[in-house]
Structure 1
Amino acid sequence: MALRKINYLLISCLSCSVLISIKRYAGAQCESHVHQCASSPCQAGGQCVELEPFGRLAGLPPSFRHPGAPGYVCTCPPGFTGIHCEEDIDECSSHPCQNGGTCENLPGGYTCRCPLDGPSGTFYGGRDCSDVLLGCAHHPCLHQGTCVPHLRDGRHGFRCLCPPGHAGPVCEAVTTLAFSGHGFLRVASGPAAAPARGQACHVALRFQTDRPDALLLFRGDGDASVKLELLGGRLHLSARVRDGPGVLLSVPRDTSDGEWHAVEVAFAETVTLSLTGGACEEGCLAQAPSPFAGGRATCAFRSSFLGGFPAGTTSVALLGADDVPPAPPFEGCLQDVTIDGHRVTLESVSPGWSLNVGAGCARRGPCHGQPCGGRGRCAHLEPGRPCDCDPPHAGPGCLAEHVAGRFGHEGSTGYAAFPLEESNMENISFSMLVRTRRPSGLLLALQSGARRQVRVWIEHGRLAMLAPGSPGLAGKFAISDGHVHSVSLGIEPGKIELYQSSQSLGFIAAPAWKIQRGDVVYLGGLPDRQETQLNGGFFKGCIQDVRLNSQNLEFFPNSTGNDASLNPVLVNVTQGCPGDDMCKSKPCHNGGTCRSLWDDFSCSCPAHAAGKTCEEARWCELSPCPPGAQCQPVPRGFECVANAVFHGQSGAVVFRSNGNITRELTNITFGFRTRDANAMILHAEREPEFLDISIRDSRLFFQLQSGNSFYVLRLASPQPVSDGMWHEVTFAMADPLAQASGWRMEVDSRAPPVASAVAAGSLAFLKDDTDIHVGDRATGNTTGGLEGCLGTIEIGGIHLPYFGDARGSASRPQEEQFLRISARSVATGCLRLNACSSSPCLHGGDCEDAYSSYHCSCPLGWSGARCELRVDGCFPNPCIHGNCSAAGAAAAYLCRCEPGYAGANCEVETDHCQRHQCANGATCLSGIHGYACLCPGNFTGRFCRQSRLPATVCGNEQRNLTCYNGGNCTELPAGPACLCGEGFAGERCEEDVDECASGPCLHGGRCRDLRGRFQCLCGAAFAGERCELDLAGHLLPDDVLTATGSLTLVSLLLILLLAVAAAVAAANKRATQGSYSPSRQEREGSRVEMWSLVPPPALERLV
């Protein structure tokens, strides 16, 4: 045995007491050794090994450090584990079975049950269902046998599961035998046919027949016999011993129904008879002690006969059956007959031992093919008449039908009378089929002379029965529905029982009485019209298949050819069961189409009508309501309901009764939602009565003074209602029928209603000319108008419509109405739920409930109705004086400002003069890249800190004078004065004289103003101090002119290039200098140093 796992138990001897407790050692000094394996502690065949005599085993775990430790270990066989091998390893936990196989855990192993019908048509076998089975590859089984492949010792094979009637390795043998009713089949038994092992004294067969009496099997010799037969359709088994007691077994089930039934008979200490099939699907069993002495086996009989005996009496006498009455021969089929373990076929029978027996089962009984056509039961009661017909069918194949009698056709009244001819009828069964739609009418009356015995009639659509001296009986189920119902009556001594559709409705006690000759059965009515009315009136409908016990009471005997029927007296009873033409009176209204039914009619109404006769208009089918409203049917009309949106102080919607309201107004219902802590909902007033429904301090408030009450009834909701949620509200009188009673308020049906302590009347004052203000109040409203949603208000079930009668649509036809008299239109479409409850705003947007919709306040970078659109930060051009570039975050952008501008959007013009350094009263001129100093008087330089020319000062105590630009201050008689140098003028010599003002340059030369003088810049063709020389003329000799002209031309070209360059530089410089104007500077006479603009201080430079 292979060692899979070693489990061990170590028992250490730490002290003598421990040794004693574990019984490892014994004796006063613990000197005696006790063998631990003597008690066989290892289970499941495990081997016990003691540790002390053998020391340490190699199989112990390496962590064990006690080589000489006492104790024992168990070496377990495969499939087991545990200290004592007590645990069975679940080999199925690893799911070894493949291809759909089912694993079954066994002690020490497992087995796989492979499926017999693989979904792919492939069969698997082997230990783990991993081998493909090929035995059934060629479908070897015949006659629709089931092939089961297998694999044994590496070889593929198959086994055939044969259907009933076939046997053999490939189901090739036919085991069905057909008996014609005039033959037999003899089977040898006894020593000549030794039974198969384990199957001795056993008979099994299947049979099919529609004959109630027949012999199936007989076995016997001179001393004993066994007989299996059908008697009255039931299976009987009799076993007898000569001069001894016999045994009779039977199974009380009908087997002559043409279906297959399986029978097994076994003999041992007891005799067993079992039947399977038909009514014994789960098996029927009968047993009795064996009658054979000493347990004698019946398989010692010499012969067995199936289906009958051979002709003549000699063979019967030899069998010891001379005193047995002859049984009818079997007519039908036997199948899969096995006697003492041997299967019986025609090939296994000796020649001459069978008569009128064939292979197969081509016989068809009289019930084959449903001869009764579903109108009866095939019972084969007598030859030629196999059908037991259901009412009202009759005749061969149940093709005929008892003729019905029609009562009350087209409004007539009548009855049928059947005089009886038999006497002394005690147990009476009376039945008939009834069809009617009238809820009342007499069905049956039994009358003896002038005495009424039994009455059966229809009352309120249900059966009723009455007998003299007994209380009446009423049925529970309606019968006046136009369908056919079975009604039967059972009369026994002292009791009369009523049935409807085979279900008992009860019985009444009645004195014993008998039907005598001359008694009369009345159907549908009585000759006395007044007496008929006392019993439900004349019957209107059909009565069919009337039976008194086994006799048919035919209304029209000649129509069925039944001579046994009584000749009735018929008054206004017609043949058949036609219905009245109910459409003749044209009952359908509003364009409905009438369709005649049996004693009834059906109106096919157009879409706008409803009701039995289309008398009710279905107004909502005409779509009378405007968009946004829902049509709601009301009695004799419709209403358009919607949820209105109110916006605070937008004015009230006013309603008034149309003057036709007659009902009592005892309740108000509506729904609303708002976030207002104070708002008016409804107000109506007609002195001294008034009604007020409002919200105060977030609670619903109700005030009413009406009727004769002098007190004001007040109710307040216990819970706040200004939460923006929808609330359903009902105000109602506690006693609507009282002249005055308390009122109750119910909000949302969640909390108990709030009841008032004060009584008040109804809302009858609203029926008159009382204006009902909804959503606000005409004057004196201190609570404010409602802002929120308000559903359609109902007062006493009458709506306050937000919509008037729309042009081109139907007006409300109902008589009782409230009318909207205010001209202001009402906005509808308010949502019952908070518009923000579904969180419609995306990307963190804030949702605002607008009652009929929602509004999203989007975060930076998002836009759209739901903040679903990402915003481009540079749209639409936020940088006023600069270039925009989008940043990483949503909607973020960065402006790169043009020179001279600053700010987030380059919207601020830069002022470089805020911290300028211009001195001596100079004026700061701000430019794009910096600023410049406009120097006054005699100052110059970048910041006007340098004197232009020496200045002189003179004067006296009254006046002093400063002369600029090198002017000489001189004391004159008139006072001090400045004597200016060349090129300067003015009182202080502060003005630079413009020598170019007189235009001294000729021929288009440009004048340049210098100090005290000027300079002319001449064109290429002129020269001279004032450009007065024309170089193109002949004033000079040719050679001189040529040399001079060349030199002059080169000089002029050089000067022209320098002038152009200077002009371009000046233009560029001026283009960047902000608001500076050189022409203005020249006009004002002051000088400014423009050659070098002063930039702002380094720490304050704008970017």
Structure 2
Amino acid sequence: MWPWCLNQQRGHQVWGPRVKGAASSSLYLLCPGWSSGFYITTPPALNETKQTKPNHRVWNLPLEPHGLLSVTGADPCRCVTCESEVDECASAPCLHGGSCLDGVGSYRCVCAPGYAGASCQLDVDECQSQPCAHGGVCHDLVNGFRCDCADTGYEGARCEQEVLECASAPCAHNASCLDGLGSFRCLCWPGFSGDRCEVDEDECAAEPCRNGGQCLQRSDPALYGDAQAVLPGTFSFHHAGGFLCRCPPGFAGDDCGVDVDECASSPCLNGGRCQDLPNGFQCHCFDGYTGLTCQEDVDECRSEPCLHGGTCSDTVAGYVCQCPEAWGGPECSVELTGCQGHTCPLAATCIPTFKSGVHSYACRCPPGTHGPSCGQNTTFSIVAGSPVWALVPVGGPLGLALRFRTTLPTGVLATRNDTQDSVELALVGAALHATLWRHGTMALVLRLPDLALNDGYWHQVEVAFSVATLELRLWHERCPDQLCVVSGLVAAGPMASVAPGPVGPCFVQLGGWALVGCLQDVRVDGHLLLPEELNGTVILGCERREPCQPSPCAHGGTCVDLWTHFHCDCPRPYDGSTCTDEIPAATFGLGGTLSSGSFLLHQLPGPNLTVSFLLRTRESSGLLLQFASDSATGLTVFLREGQIQVEAPSRPAVVLPGRWDDGLRHFVTLSLGPDQLEDLGQQLHVGGRLHPADTQPWGGPFRGCLQDLRLNDVHLPFFPGRVENSSWTSKLDTGQSWNLTQGCVSEDVCSSDPCFNGGTCLVTWNDFHCTCPDNFTGPTCAQQLWCPSQPCLPPATCEEVPDGFVCVAETSFREGPPAVFSGHSVSSGRELSGLSLAFRTRDPEAGLLRAAAGRNFTGCLGRVSLGGLPLPVARPRPGAPPGAREHFSAWPGTPTPRLGCSGAPVCASSPCLHGGACRDLFDAFACACAPAWEGRRCEARADPCRSAPCARGRCHVRPDGSFECSCPPGFSGPRCRLPVLPKECSLNTTCLDGSLCQGEPQSTNCSCQEGLAGWRCRPSLPCEDNPCLNGGTCRAASGISECICSAGFSGQFCEVVKGLPLPLPFPLLEVAVPAACACLLLLLLGLLSGVLAARKRRQSEGTYSPSQQEVAGARLEMDSVLKVPPEERLI
């Protein structure tokens, strides 16, 4: 029902909130005079907004069915209800599924998609707007259309998207796809075809490989990538076109059409001729060679053709026999007689020869001679500055060989020159050098640096060179196999001297400007140079007198042999040609005077500077050297607290180790580098300065001796008039000195009579020595000796102490009272910080120092000292002088201990039984038992059957202590090992394997066949005779017997008592391992016994030094009632 206002009155329109589903806000209709609202329901069929006349109905009703419409007013409206409305939709006027909306007097059709018209009778033509693009054909559909894009190259609902034909990868075999409009094109790799490159062309179909070659397509991926790959690399379509021919041996080429020439690589060696064959070759070898490639030299020595002990050397197609001296000929079959009646000199060796059937001889000449009879001399001398030379014809092997002797370390021995190259053989620092020069440039140097060859003896050397190598050889006793060889490659290529060879002879020079010595047997390119072929001053022979025999150098100088003369290397401070001149020393401050010296240096002998001198002093401080200028002080060398110190401006001081003030002569060397020579100064002050106050910072003036002062090798003289090195006169002005005494003069220290008690004073350079009379000693004879008067009674000995003597002796302590001493006479200032004593005992625990009650010590004590004072265990003889002023003394009323070390008479009671011998071990004994007895006191009878000596039967002990075996039937012998043989042949005597029984006078025996043994001729069965001793069990294993020994025994047959040495078997291989094990065992036992002995000795002998707390008391008892801690028992 719809509300109308009464009498068609116009109601008020009020807009309210939008209701869910409404197109706009809801409209409320208010009737005039309404004071309150009420609710009405909308028609159930209402499903959309109802269009009504304005001001008469409510429009824009909610779409929801059964919605509520709120109408408000002051008074209730009186409305009329039209209960019958005509339904215009009852006739279904809407076609094609359209929905009918009934209205008042009308309807409205809501058409289904694709239809229009009042009754939805019209089909909408969606193709009218031409929605299909790019020529697509539009097909109208109900409420839609369809575009046919065939043959347009496009796709999509409206044919708006271009079709990408290559997106589906239509091209096979990795071909490239070119996209077109409605089409595509494939670009195929070589070897593939088809619209889509789907065809793999078979390149092998035409059989392109010749001579039986196998055709392989490159497009086959299986030919790549694994260990048996035919084609290199990995498969790629880029290289997949074509084919590959795998050729059979002997053929090559892309199609195997080329016959390989196996002779092209020259496989035939040693001059063999190669014949090419299909897939092979054949070598035709020269005589003397064989093998597939003529690589094998036929060993003609295999048949041993050389007779009489000759040595065969194989050659090409032949052999050469090295015959003994008495034989010759090709096979050493001819006895050589050529040396019979030879004329070779005694020093030469006759070599018999046999050529062309003629016997002759040749003389092997000693070094230095040549010729058929060794009558030509090849030795000559070379003089420095006068080399000799010669021209040598070409044609021989290139090289230089000679023997030389010299004492000079450096010099040229020989030089070989041709038009382009030069080889020089020389000594450099006594080592042999060979130098190759090419076109004036050094190309190679060979050295033998470890051998000094300037020893005056003959040395043989050789230099050989070839196309590109240089080799240096030296025959010397210190070389491996008497020959040292060093070689090198010439990097510049072949030498000019090698084929075709130099134009004209080569030039050879022997000797040089520095070398003096002798040469002999000089060979250049194999040509022997005789002295008469040399140019220059040639001195035949090698005569010389050794200038250093005997040595002319005095004062231990070293004589340097310069071949024709000598040079003395003199020790400092000696000088002169034979070291007979001593550079005088200078004494500074003699008698308390002020002494100094100074030198003015024009320049320093740089860049490095070594300052050296001899020093002797007993003063602990003083200025030694100082470099200075007019305005500043430079380097200073001085003594401080007996040590040498070096100071330089802006540098830390350097202290030389050791003390230098002991009165002995010391050699001092100071080495300065370039950075230490800055601002050194040109003035050198020695021993002091003109003003003594200037030396106070460095200990004052020096007192003592300085000698042989040098800067580098330049001597600085303290006293003028001595001939000095003239080469440095321009660098050094004459020095000046004040109050220096020539020579190292001592002070007269005996003038004050320092020796007491009649001692004689002897000056010992700034010190003295007192020769004391008897009974006095000490540096000044002030200390009296007491022991020479023998104040102690034997067995005590006298011991000197600082102020007297003490009688000391070994003492024995046994059940008697302790020895007690008092320290009342010991100075209270003496620190009794230690006790030392020697003792011998067998007590495992006994005190040596009494501090509390305990068991007394039993044993011997040696020298005992407390705080450095020995204890006077023995008293002086009557009438002896008094002892030391500071001493220990025996406690009043205590007995004097027994002197000497003696143990208890342990063997006096004959503790060893049954004839055993007793041995005294100091408070202990050991018994050496008679046979058949054992035990500590030989109290137990030994059981000889304990080791089970009987192989069979029972063991019995005889009265004398030996054993006897009772054998079972069938066995006999001392140990029951031997079987008992039957006395005659009978049925009970069976010889096995067909052997015969033979009767003998005492028993029977079987005559065994070969391979059998034993008294019954059968193979020995393992363990049959039980070889195991001492109760061992025999076990058969692999046909042999093995003994399983009982406890306490070992060895192959259990014959060795464990702990006793095991006999070593042979051979050596079986000796090594047991011996090593035995040594290791003995070592461990030795260490163990050493530890036990040391522990035992710690109980019997040692030195004990307790702490101060144990000896601080004034009373000391020399037994022990204090248990000594083990860790403090020994020192």
Taking structure 2 as the reference length, the TM-score comes to 0.42
Q: Which has the higher strand share?
A: 1
Taking structure 1 as the reference length, the TM-score comes to 0.43
